Structure 1
């Protein structure tokens, strides 16, 4: 009972945020982030590329991937699946105490602004949805009351389409022409007459409604809410500045709003009369609130991301690229567990949030600042009978020492390696072989230059051995790491790796067999990394 009660108290501590209470929760989050030392994050998604890669296992983040390739694969995962819940927990460490404020944001993409782009579609994995349903995930809260969001491109499109009145600060004009002077004089006369009429309209008059209507029509007077207002048409930014200057010389109680047309060019200045400095401040606040409400509607959950990123506070996460959230019904609890774990680590390492760190830990911390380590999934294509595949050490290798092979039929790893040893002398040196998927294998040579020799032999009939020529005639093909890198850069994810490599190889500008020291990178290779081939 005590454990159950503790979990319930933990669940109650997480503020569940939907579209209904998003505005208030955002204000609270902003205040807590400002006061916090760290921000922990966790999320629930509709799927995961690592879990969905049985069809295309090469799309997993692999040890031989450079940081650029790992990022591209992580980007694919982020773009393929939808985040339905994003938990944020600003927290501080005060001695042995952790002061935390967890929020769990329920999200759902929808085209609230009717922009028509991008397409609001995403992939789902039934295993993820089934697991979430068993845990009591509230899909209704996400679908019907989830917080939407827009990209910066969409926000710009909204601003282009929905031009709203705005307050503009007057700039001093260096020179004034005769035309400018005439325009300002006429504007001044109109505003002064309007002010006089507005003041008289507040007092009791015997004028009939028809006469008052005609006066409003002639002067262009109207109401902005309950305040008197007047419209002054303009045809350029220059005239806007002239109007603003004229207003500043007449009264301090007038608030000018510049009204743009659909193209963004100014078409009028809406002049609003306030009764006092206090009333003017109230009006300015009302205008700002309306603008903030519209911006919040447009940006949606992106406001949360902006709050976190602009705070420059350290972000704490666990396995963020493959985060499945918490195996409990209290959504958002995982971010509290991350917070608690980090606090324990800080205690063990004697780290302090105010930046005071014992000297022996400084170097260790610096080595891990602002570095993202994607979760490496492993590949295997070995036969246990072959002792060359049982090495347990991690070896650093160069991307110039990797070669991708395909078109070898249905050979096993042992059979393919045996055939290669018989086909060319380069395979008599130390090398390892792994399958990337059912269609393609990767070879790492531990003797520098061997990969280049193989690719040159494959490209030239003159230097190709008889055994290699026979395998080429049966369909064997090869490519260097630059070809694999280009596949990932072009986003050719939807095919077997062999087909993607073929597409890049067909490009005359591919330059696949050319090695460049400038483009070479050091990557990791170890025989321990493995996936079960029965999953492929």
Structure 2
């Protein structure tokens, strides 16, 4: 008797509705790959290891996991964005979203073998020293958190075990708010002493002499214990560990300079420490008396080691960023504009107001940032590949470029979780690109020379350029055309539910500007853009809109129904002002209602051309 089977659709239904099955994780597709997970508990030991690997490797790949990238659809970098507006959008996101993971992979490529040392650092902005830094508040985008949760991300472990950090700018402030600092070198003041300075110097000099004498006499044991105690009280002596110390109160930087100048007289016996107030500044100079030159050397080394440990704890993960920057090795990333605005904001300091300043600031630390999206332009200039997996699949289908991945470091079984694999994929894709393009990776200089025009190109839609100021925007497509931003007009105020095709048909016979070729695209549900292909058509349309559609009944009806318009300069002004409303239409309305000094805008020259494709469509369901 034949075995009965349930219909196929029942099997299919069971598979898709069984909630007890563990979701398939794409990151587990290669069981040979392992990424070391780093938290605050194994961070110190990892630092020593990764430092050597960074120095020995030729390249460093980075990959970031953050709490979001945009608050509204139009906040994303769009194909119509110039480099400046793209940077302002990335700046806005970097200042509001937070890093939870930072994957780092020092690697080298030898023939067809990728030798990689991947690490995934779990981060959380924690104010360990109660300094009021970093800020506790940040934005989250639900889709990003959902994606991380699906990959098994442990948010509790992130909060409790994540590595804290301060930026360089924050650390500079923190140094003035905490701890004691050893003064290693006493310098003579160059300015002349006033009468008040002289009185202050004589008073503290007499006090220090009496204190040193009292401490030395008490050490001889010739006095009674009670007398020694009374003498210490009289001279104000205290204890710093097992060593005597004296506190000199100061009320200005000038007093600090005078106290340190006076202590040069006793430099063989004492070590001065600067005591900092909680609100910043120095509140006292603490003088520690040592018993011999050897004892003084030991004490100074102890204090310097203690200060270095405190500094390491304060800067936290930023020490890894400093190691990468100090190596001056090429850094490979997938979305360099988004990643490095975030890196600059969190680990270096506040982001500059314009792209040129950002590029200059970042180049001081990272002179060779290579974006694999731009490198793919050499292989596929007419096809925009927005993800590592898409680019890898494209190369696999068209080229024979096998790359074996070798990970020499040993990773514990419980450490190799499914996080941080993107940094390995970026490293492997870079190696494949070099193989396809026949770029030698035996030395860093060979690869740096081959990709010279692609280093530090932070425009997400830009091709390579030897000119760092070149700022054209490009969408890689089969059919692309240059389009001046002067021929782009933003329109809003149309009926909810209107499609691009419907809006185009309404505009088609409303004004003579639409008698020639034009395209309509939606930026979000509230606003669309019109691309005119004939010069001056946009100016004619904007003029008609400003006049209320006089002599154009169809356009006049659209205006009376609420249709509004603005040129591209208004959009750029919007980004400069930071009017990031949820709907682009609201942001444009607010911009038009805001007084803005045109002469106060940045005077740097920017390209006014973008690339447009006829086949490009924005899916309204994704907005």
TM-score when normalising by structure 1: 0.81
**Alpha carbons of structure 1 residues 355 and 15: separation in structure 2 relative to 1, 3 Å:** closer
DSSP 3-state at the match of 1:270: strand
Distance in 2 separating the partners of 1:517 and 1:200: 72
* Aligned equivalent of 2:104: 88
* Aligned equivalent of 2:77: 61
- Residue 36 (structure 2) pairs with residue 15 (structure 1): yes
* Aligned equivalent of 1:44: 65
In the TM superposition, what is the alpha-carbon distance from 1:271 to its structure 2 partner? 1.4
**Alpha carbons of structure 1 residues 274 and 29: separation in structure 2 relative to 1, 3 Å:** farther
* Aligned equivalent of 1:489: 576
Q: Is the CA contact 2:486–2:568 (under 8 Å) kept in the aligned structure 1? A: yes
What are the Cα deviations for residues 85-127 of structure 1, in whole angstroms up to 9, with x where unaligned?
11112234456655443221111233432628734232142x5
* Aligned equivalent of 1:500: 587
In the TM superposition, what is the alpha-carbon distance from 1:233 to its structure 2 partner? 3.6
What are the Cα deviations for residues 270-324 of structure 1, in whole angstroms up to 9, with x where unaligned?
1112344443333223323333333344333333334333443221112464999
In the TM superposition, what is the alpha-carbon distance from 1:187 to its structure 2 partner? 4.4
Distance in 2 separating the partners of 1:259 and 1:230: 12
> RMSD of aligned C-alpha atoms?
3.6
Q: Is the CA contact 1:32–1:90 (under 8 Å) kept in the aligned structure 2? A: yes
Q: Is the CA contact 1:109–1:120 (under 8 Å) kept in the aligned structure 2? A: no
- Residue 215 (structure 2) pairs with residue 198 (structure 1): yes
* Aligned equivalent of 2:421: 333
2:537 to 446, 450, 475: 450
Deviates more, 1:212-221 or 1:464-473: 464-473
What are the Cα deviations for residues 257-276 of structure 1, in whole angstroms up to 9, with x where unaligned?
13344565544321112344
DSSP 3-state at the match of 1:268: strand
* Aligned equivalent of 2:352: none
TM-score when normalising by structure 2: 0.71
* Aligned equivalent of 1:476: 563
* Aligned equivalent of 1:394: 480
Distance in 2 separating the partners of 1:318 and 1:123: 21
DSSP 3-state at the match of 2:502: helix
Q: Is the CA contact 1:44–1:325 (under 8 Å) kept in the aligned structure 2? A: no
Distance in 1 separating the partners of 2:50 and 2:461: 29
* Aligned equivalent of 1:404: 490
1:350 to 434, 439, 445: 439
Q: Which consecutive residues of structure 1, in runs of 5 or more, have no partner in the other structure?
A: 377-390
Q: Is the CA contact 1:115–1:158 (under 8 Å) kept in the aligned structure 2? A: no
Distance in 1 separating the partners of 2:498 and 2:253: 74
Alignment of 1:162-311 (within 5 A): 162=178, 164-167=180-183, 169-174=185-190, 175-176=192-193, 184=201, 187-205=204-222, 207-208=224-225, 210-261=226-277, 264=280, 266-311=282-327
- Residue 141 (structure 2) pairs with residue 118 (structure 1): no
Distance in 2 separating the partners of 1:152 and 1:162: 15
2:121 to 94, 105, 125: 105
Q: Is the CA contact 1:39–1:313 (under 8 Å) kept in the aligned structure 2? A: yes
DSSP 3-state at the match of 2:594: coil
**Alpha carbons of structure 1 residues 500 and 187: separation in structure 2 relative to 1, 3 Å:** closer
1:421 to 505, 508, 513: 508
Distance in 2 separating the partners of 1:104 and 1:229: 46
In the TM superposition, what is the alpha-carbon distance from 1:16 to its structure 2 partner? 2.1
1:144 to 157, 160, 183: 160
DSSP 3-state at the match of 2:54: helix
